[in-house]
Amino acid sequence: VTSYPDRDHCPSCGGDDVASTALAPAGSVTARTTVGALQIGEVRLDDGVLVLGRLDMDTPTAVGTRVRHCPDADVVRFVADA
Amino acid sequence: MRDVAIVGAGMTRFTKQAELGHEGLAVVAAREALADAGVAASEVGAAFAASMGGGPAIGQRALRHLGMGGIPIVNVENACASSSTALVEATAWIRAGMCDVALAFGVEIVSVQAGPLDVPDTGTGQWVFATGLNLPAWYALKASRHMAEHGLTREQLAAVAVKSRRLAVDNPLAHFRSPVTAEQVLDSVTIADPLTLFQCCPKTDGASAVVVCSADFASSRGLDPVWLRGLSLVSGQPVFSDRTNTEDATRRAARSAYEQAGIDPVDVDVAECHDAFTIGEVLATEALGFCPDGEGGAWIAAGATAPGGKGPVVNPSGGMLSRGHPIAASGLAQVVEVVTQLRGTSGPRQVPGARLGVVHTMGASEFELDANACVVQVLEQGRKR
């Protein structure tokens, strides 16, 4: 099982034989919404893992849009993948 | 396994009434259910109380006002499915022979909370809610996904709210009793795109209760009860890399409840399902088997689940969208509605000839689970099998 975020125990079996691994830095939006000024989306990374995060784009992001993770943000954020 | 009968049902009006307090609301519903059953408080062998915000030992605190003490009283919390779970427990006690008569109630006061409901500290899930996600947004993501995968439209979502409001006009216990048009639904303020204000349940206070008993007790009183033919409580299963299967809990619970009852979804006349947001009814209509997957929106918009439609009438009470959704009281309010329908005493909103009903309650969605809890019940009016 590969999941986000990393943790001390396997979320599938509870075992402690776990290791951190780098996830794909980019993916595609599979669902999105806007709450107030915030745009939030579900992103399927290119390695298959689903992550929720803010979509930092000025206009509503269409499902299917390619996005890239912002690694140093205070919360999980994605921007358009140029 | 012993048959279990529902012989009493009662609820308060669902509205803003925080001044009555949790205990006060619970007493009204419990007293009504007992009176409806013709059962004295002293005949109840065990009680099961559901509330999220009612504080410790709400069951003991509320029922002392009815002179009910000394019996086993169990307090239950399972998010929005709390009172449905209380009924599961009451049923289990009767089936096990631990009591002949049980009371289950749910009570909640929600109207005093400002803004979206608080998201509890869910440990590793906090990184999700730090993004700004709240409960409406959680459901909005489901709607967005359904739109992308199945072509669900905003107009179809609005049709759910229109049907809900139209049916609640005839429910004197509903929070909202005025009809709305699709245009009004779509033009109401956006809460979490594509969900607008009229597509979100109101903050409602209320209580609901039922009395259940063994077949022997019902027979000894000459009662003509509604029978619990199928009853399934499941919890969500972990989902890590594919959260798109979020209705799996409903499918599993429905499959089990239908199997116990020996029915198919096409046999169902009336259903109350979890519609805290319009997309919830779309997804439940599919997962309960009332229409093919992906067609819930079109199905509802075409009137298939409205009175006179080709499917079961879904949420004749107005559902959570219009009747209201006092969290831990909602599950048994759904049961009260279906029991009333099966008795044929629902007045202007009566589904003609209703004999078989389904109740579906979700216990919210949770990060990394496809649900907290889900209860599906099959109720039937008729003679003991």
> How are beta strands B226-235 and B373-381 bridged, if at all?
antiparallel
* Residue from B371, B47, B344, B67 nearest B224 by CA: B344
Tokens 């999941």 — which residue? A3
pLDDT tens for residues B163-202? 999 999 999 999 999 999 999 999 999 999 999 999 999 9
A15 touches chain B (CB under 8 A): no
CB atoms A31 and B148 under 8 Å: yes
Sign of the CA dihedral running B139, B145, B151, B154: positive
CB-CB: which of B130, B140, B244 is closest to A33? B140
Residues 21-50, chain A: which have Cβ within 8 Å of B?
30-36, 38, 40-42, 48-50
Sheet holding B101-108, edge to edge: B73-76, B46-50, B101-108, B206-214, B4-11, B226-235, B373-381, B356-362, B270-272, B313-314
CB B87 within 8 A of CB B331: yes
Cα A82 to the chain's mean position, in Å?
A: 17
Residue B134 C-alpha, separation from nearest chain A C-alpha, in angstroms: 8
Q: How far apart are CA B224 and CA A63, in angstroms?
A: 53
pLDDT tens for residues B55-75? 999 999 999 999 999 999 999
pLDDT tens for residues B91-145? 999 999 999 999 999 999 999 988 766 556 556 567 777 888 888 998 999 999 9
* Residue from B337, B364, B354 nearest B85 by CA: B364
Sign of the CA dihedral running B369, B242, A11, A42: negative
What radius of gyration, in Å, describes the C-alpha atoms of chain B?
A: 19
CB-CB: which of B132, B241, B244 is closest to A3? B241
* Amino acid (one-letter) located at B338: V
Q: What is the mean pLDDT of residues B331-336?
A: 98
Nearest CA in chain B to A14: B238
B118 touches chain A (CB under 8 A): no
Res A10: pLDDT: 85
Element (H, E) at B377: strand B373-381
Q: How far apart are CA B49 and CA B45, in angstroms?
A: 14
A59 touches chain B (CB under 8 A): no
Q: What is the mean pLDDT of residues B27-53?
A: 97
pLDDT tens for residues B254-294? 999 999 999 999 999 999 999 999 999 999 999 999 999 99
Res B384: pLDDT: 54
Is A33 in a helix, a strand, or coil?
strand
CB B245 within 8 A of CB B239: yes
CB atoms B241 and A33 under 8 Å: no
Is B165 in a helix, a strand, or coil?
helix
Q: How far apart are CA B99 and CA A39, in angstroms?
A: 53
Q: What are phi and psi of B174, to 5 degrees?
A: -80, 150
Instruction: Read off the pTM.
Output: 0.96
- Residue B107 CB coordination number (10 Å): 37
